[in-house]
Structure 1
Amino acid sequence: MDRVIEERGAPRAAGANTPEAMPPEAPLAMPAQPLRAWSRDQARPRARPEAWSTPWATRAFVGVGAIVVTGFGAREMYRVVEVGGVTVLEWALLALFVINFAWIALAFISSVVGFFALFGRAALTRPDLPEKLTSRTAIVMPIYNEQPSRVFGAVQAAYEDVQRLGFGDHFDCFLLSDTTDPDVWIAEERAFLRLRELLGPDARVFYRHRAKNHRRKAGNIEDFVTRWGGAYDHMLVLDADSLMTGHAVIALAAAMEADPDAGIIQTLPLVINRNTLFARVQQFASRVYGPVIAAGITVWYGRDGNYWGHNAIIRTEAFASGAGLPDLPGKPPFGGLILSHDFVEAALIRRKGWAVYMLPRIEGSYEESPPSLIDVAQRDRRWCQGNLQHSALLNARGLHPLSRYHFLNGIFSYLASPFWMFMLLCGIALALQSKFIRPEYFTDEFSLFPAWPRFDAERALTLFGVTMAILLAPKVFGLLLYLLHGPSRRAGGGTIRILVSSVLEVILSSLFAPIMMLVQSGSVFQILAGRATGWNPQRRDDGSIPFSAIVQRHRWHTALGVVTLVTGAAIAPSLVAWMSPTIAGLLLAIPLSWLSGHLGSGLALRRLGLMLIPEETIAPEIAVAARANAAALAEGGSDDAEALVAIHQDPNFFAEHERMLPAAPRRPKGAIETDRVMAAAKLSDAEYLGDAVAWLTPKEKTVVLHDRALLALLARLPREAPADRIEVAGASQ
């Protein structure tokens, strides 16, 4: 036993000669910001007021245009239902239609602005590199139970690309782990040490693991800012599925240096590396339609924009002084920790007097998307709660009007689903009323003519066509710009394949839409009923979901589709025709969901040249490098680790793990930590490593890996079972 301890003690001195996992701390205060107390004198003065312009004309065009289009839709819908008088149900249908129509009218007018902003120009550009930089930027990637080889491979690719371009002295990379799975945590540490070996001891790549993921991702970033933020002028925030070229990273830092009033500069990340059917639909839509939508909001948002939480550069001073998040009063889901923190951080930074805007045309900003419909639904549940939570922030003092609009926009992005559902139910109720309830043709009020419950069918058909045109217009605008750009058109498979892909995307999106309508409506109702959500890691791979889980998730959607079809057929065939896209999506919910995560279907489309994007035809060098790095790290065993075995069998790694642990907090006398007591008891009873692996729960294992005293107990255990236990086991067999 003494020999084992001596073996593990010897390498520690050698390990101390390697660089620390984190640089020296440079604290920066980040106070929580008040929501109910604010005065204008608390905002900073603008450094360059002459360069600060507000696009009033464009905002007027968007506002007036949305009102005019909505007014036209409301008038036409009123004329549809007012034949013979308007009943209570018809008024409800009209109100719901106007709410939904206003939503698509605003998107339509915004896309018109984006179309003219990009017409004759490439959607993406590669800015010239600056001659020099004077600032220091931290590239930070918060991670939570992710596959280590993927995230470390992506960071390695970005770091090496920046180094290759000659700006490496201005950028440090930080992997900020909130991982709770002990096996993944140890795999992260092994991947980090392997990455340090590959990049050399002078590499400015760092890793920190938090023992408790307090305040989730927002708390993870806040912890970095308050402990190390003082050493950096900016931080470039990435998600675990983000990827950015060195050129884009440097361009963002140069843009921050050039604009001393900028607080956040957001890029438009394109979706890449996706292969399942659903993910390829999203990837194609992001590449073809995304730029025109982003260009539109960029123009009329101006310097009062929003932040999506990743692939953006933030001035550290602005974030620390203005974006400290308070907890909301009350209990979850509407109170407590702010979930969708990025919108709130943008609003608070803008309130402080900093500009928040987007540079959507910077080439080289990428992300990935969830692989299936169910994965999107799981992520959407958390986003739904976070966005609805913003209702408590609408009356916060001092916010810019557009910041309040961003909150409202996010809220309605989820309320739109139940509004749509209620509108469909109103239509069904009106059809039932006209068929089965005897109408009162002559009311108590004097009238020469009866009040017939009728619709103007011809006008209704026209309005339907107008609504579909407005709904699809942003996609048409994006498609036209895409086809007019020769390099994109050729790399995307040519005009015919792109057109076929666009039609296929519209069909599939139309079928997926009613499923998501019910999913989001269910999330809204659950949140209104007081049910909060958890924080589950996002699935990133292209693997399919078991069919039994799909059936369980969508069986009620299918049943509702059957009921709607039977009810509609009993009332009127025209009702079935009107609701056919919705009915079809619900009836096919189970096979559609299965197909959405099916890898073979997505790859088959790729082989046919459909749903193809230029970044697949000519893969970005940064994506190729990230995949190669991830494969090399995976082959080196970075992902495969039983935590206790990995740390026990490698004395050097044992020493490095201990070095990366923070100082143990002082435990109050008499305070008993159940998991620690149980872990200590089990380690004391264990006769060899296998006992510890078999007996310790994941929570107890995590406690052991955080506790130097318990690690010493683990180190004393022999690797193999005692000979007498082996003999007994053999005899029993």
Structure 2
Amino acid sequence: MAVSLDTLDAAKTSREHGARDLEAQPAPVGATLSAPLPPLPPETPLAMPVQSLKVWSRKDVRKPVVRRPRPWLARIFVFAASIGLTAWGAMEMYRVVSVSGVTALQWALVALFTVNFSWIALAFTSAIVGFLALLRGRRPPPVPTSLKARTVVVMPVYNEATARVFASLQAMYEEIAATGLIQHFDFFILSDSTQPDAWIAEERAFWALRERLGPQARFYYRHRQKNVGRKAGNIEDFVTRWGGAYEHMLVLDADSLMTGACITRLAAAMEADPDAGIIQSLPLIINRNTLFARLQQFAAKIYGPVIATGLAVWSGREGNYWGHNAIIRTKAFADHCGLPHLSGKPPFGGHILSHDFVEAALIRRAGWTVYMLPELDGSYEESPPSLIDLATRDRRWCQGNLQHSRVIGAAGLTWPTRQHFATGIFSYLASPLWLMQLMVGIVLVLQTRYVRPEYFTKEFSLFPAWPRFDAERALQLFGITMAILLAPKLFGLILALVRGSIRRASGGGFRLVVSALIEVIMSALLAPILMVIQSGAVFQIIAGRDTGWNPQRRDDGSIPFRDIVRRHRLQMLLGVVTGVSAFMIAPSLFGWMSPTILGLVLAIPISAASGMLSMGLALKGAGLLLTPEESSPPPIATRANALMAELAASGIDEASAVRAVHDDPVFRSRHETMLPSAPRRKRGEIDRERAVAEAKLLDAESIEDALEWLHPKEAMVVLHDRALLGLLSGLPARQDAVAEGAVAAE
């Protein structure tokens, strides 16, 4: 029997009234799944006005409550020393090429070398500051025994593995509860998921989490039908609807994990500093087992604190924000961090992708401080499991950082803020600049070997223009450059060796040194591959190609070999052509370029090995690339992994969303209460996907038909529409439909 649109709208309206009545009823204490707490608390809106990048007035800057000196001495050292090193490097390169005059190509080589050298010089001087600060020792603040303000822990998710997300949230809740301060914290899961199975799995996991922890656990869940503004828009939607209820918000990523001590310390630090707008922790990588991920995990633990501490020291309270594992003053964020849309189309226009840098810049412009506490332990994250996964994430970050070229000149920004933007932009421009330097070097050697000098030029000259090099000085400059490049890693290794607890937990001194050598060798092989990948990304963005926003793969596992070949075949071909050409030009050039050539030629096997779980576990079994968090896992990581295994075993992530809603009337009722009130359809306006979904449901004789016929977008429409859910719920299972047909035939 056909059902009219008016009948469906009437059914939908009836369900909407029922849902609103249910939400309006107070939930009794000790409510169970049969009478759950409302999925969302009452809204407490905060205005979040869009900020201007062109107009700014100094009178709008708040005056600090506590005046603190800026770290001028550290800044002078870092930048003066890096400028001095860069000037020395430029002069040495000029002396290398100026044996018999300097040609235009040689000037280009000097310029490219100078720009590239300045990048590693700044990293070197900043690492010195971090190394000295860590040698003196930096103690974390004490764990608080009391708090005053309310903090909300927000977890934005986008088509993530539900078991991982909800296991981490429960583990963090239990950790905070163990501190005795859980009454100061609420938890929000902010879903932007666009896949029906992921969305419904989140809702089912949410209600199951409510049942496990009881009504005293203030967990809430909100799903947006359209992920406008992506993650930044997700956070903005929360702030403008519920932000007024919380003084602070702790922003997480889907792979974040933080101990109760770390979270409460951040909350206490924010309460103790009335000028703090954002306080960033230093997340360490854990739970990684593939070769590539274990390399990143080792580097983050051994070298990361040196680099992060140096940055924290010279940045002072004009630091940066990395988008997660940080606590934010909610009202200040709402007042000053409304992101504008950049004019034009992506990749340089539209939504701001790397929103965290811009939010830090805007809140800092208003007079609030932003700083990092790298000495605060208990902050963790995960990393991409393979080189290809890193490249996928890196492509989005590259576009976001290059987009900052539209923001770096915004009115009112402090110069440390502009430096953060410049550093982020150059972190990706460095790859094409390095590639250009290599190409210019090859052309110069080719010119030296094969191009005959022109003795009779138009301009009078006693000698021909013939590019020559000081080989001995060039070798010395290369050695010093490599030393400066590797120095931050050496600083981190020294600190790990002199600290007995880290040394022992990393397998002992010998294994620690061997692990560092493995990491350096692998980094050298991976560097030219990443250079080509990032150069390609930069060229694509300049050409106007948008990256989109794909969810990050976070599991351990290899990638099909054919996909690896497809992604890296051009890099391998480039390595072969470059190697043959370099050897034909001059064996010395081939030797000089051999690290770059080797990495490119081996791009396919290196990428394949990077995602191998077996290779990573083999090194782990040999006691190599170990970290203290791996030798003695933090209790919260052990608990989260156990919970994740339990949730994964339940099959919640593999279940069909449509079947889950159809088969469970109790869950379907709760799902309907979580849907926003849909605007009434205007006469004459027909939503194509809704009409198709309705037609398929009307034609379906069983739930199996619906499962087979509904495409993902149509399934999303059904799951968002109370009237269509009514049609779905009335579909029998196939065996029931067959039985009914037989009875009718009789």
* TM-score, normalization by structure 2: 0.94
Corresponding residue for residue 300 of structure 1? 314
Choose which of 516, 523, 529 in structure 1 pairs with 2:537: 523
Structure 1: distance between partners of 2:741 and 2:599 = 63
- Answer yes or no: is 1:134 the counterpart of 2:141: no
Q: Secondary structure at the match of 1:397?
A: coil
Corresponding residue for residue 46 of structure 1? 64
CA contact (8 A) 1:690 1:721 kept: no
- Answer yes or no: is 1:412 the counterpart of 2:412: no
Corresponding residue for residue 547 of structure 1? 561
- Answer yes or no: is 1:110 the counterpart of 2:126: yes
Corresponding residue for residue 40 of structure 2? 22
Letter in 1 for 2:596: T
CA contact (8 A) 2:572 2:603 kept: yes
Corresponding residue for residue 642 of structure 2? 628
Structure 2: distance between partners of 1:224 and 1:275 = 35
Letter in 1 for 2:554: R
Corresponding residue for residue 469 of structure 1? 483
- Answer yes or no: is 1:710 the counterpart of 2:710: no
CA contact (8 A) 1:236 1:312 kept: yes
- Answer yes or no: is 1:36 the counterpart of 2:54: yes
Deviation (angstroms), 1:726: 11
Letter in 2 for 1:153: A
Deviation (angstroms), 1:670: 2.4
Change (3 A) 1:417 1:725: farther
- Answer yes or no: is 1:184 the counterpart of 2:198: yes
Deviation (angstroms), 1:404: 1.0
Change (3 A) 1:214 1:288: same
Letter in 1 for 2:100: G
Deviation (angstroms), 1:533: 0.9
Choose which of 339, 349, 358 in structure 2 pairs with 1:344: 358
Deviation (angstroms), 1:722: 5.3
Unmatched tracts of structure 2, length 5 or more: 2-10, 26-31
CA contact (8 A) 2:157 2:189 kept: yes
Query: Kindly, what percent of the aligned residue pairs are identical?
Result: 64
Corresponding residue for residue 650 of structure 1? 664
Structure 1: distance between partners of 2:208 and 2:650 = 8
Structure 1: distance between partners of 2:584 and 2:514 = 36
Q: Secondary structure at the match of 2:123?
A: helix
CA contact (8 A) 1:248 1:363 kept: yes
Structure 1: distance between partners of 2:690 and 2:735 = 24
CA contact (8 A) 2:290 2:614 kept: yes
CA contact (8 A) 1:194 1:633 kept: no
Corresponding residue for residue 269 of structure 2? 255
Q: Secondary structure at the match of 1:275?
A: coil
Q: Secondary structure at the match of 1:616?
A: helix
Structure 2: distance between partners of 1:324 and 1:141 = 19
Corresponding residue for residue 626 of structure 2? 612
Choose which of 363, 370, 383 in structure 1 pairs with 2:384: 370
Choose which of 98, 115, 133 in structure 2 pairs with 1:82: 98
Structure 2: distance between partners of 1:588 and 1:322 = 48
CA contact (8 A) 2:284 2:300 kept: yes
Deviation (angstroms), 1:543: 1.1
Change (3 A) 1:724 1:369: closer
Structure 2: distance between partners of 1:269 and 1:367 = 6
Q: Secondary structure at the match of 1:531?
A: coil
Structure 2: distance between partners of 1:48 and 1:317 = 19
Deviation (angstroms), 1:441: 5.2
CA contact (8 A) 2:33 2:211 kept: no
Change (3 A) 1:275 1:724: closer
Choose which of 62, 75, 79 in structure 1 pairs with 2:78: 62
- Answer yes or no: is 1:236 the counterpart of 2:250: yes
Corresponding residue for residue 119 of structure 1? 135
Corresponding residue for residue 662 of structure 1? 676
Letter in 1 for 2:62: R
CA contact (8 A) 2:448 2:466 kept: no
Change (3 A) 1:589 1:723: same
Choose which of 217, 232, 235 in structure 1 pairs with 2:231: 217
Corresponding residue for residue 731 of structure 1? none
Deviation (angstroms), 1:727: 9.4
Deviation (angstroms), 1:164: 1.1
Q: Secondary structure at the match of 1:647?
A: helix
- Answer yes or no: is 1:333 the counterpart of 2:351: no
Deviation (angstroms), 1:447: 4.8
Q: Secondary structure at the match of 1:119?
A: helix
CA contact (8 A) 2:154 2:251 kept: yes
Map 1:258-657 to 2 at 5 A. 258-440=272-454, 444-657=458-671
Q: Deviations over 1:526-550 (max 9, x none)?
A: 0000111111010000011000000
CA contact (8 A) 2:701 2:734 kept: no
Q: What is the aligned residue count?
A: 719
Q: Secondary structure at the match of 1:235?
A: strand
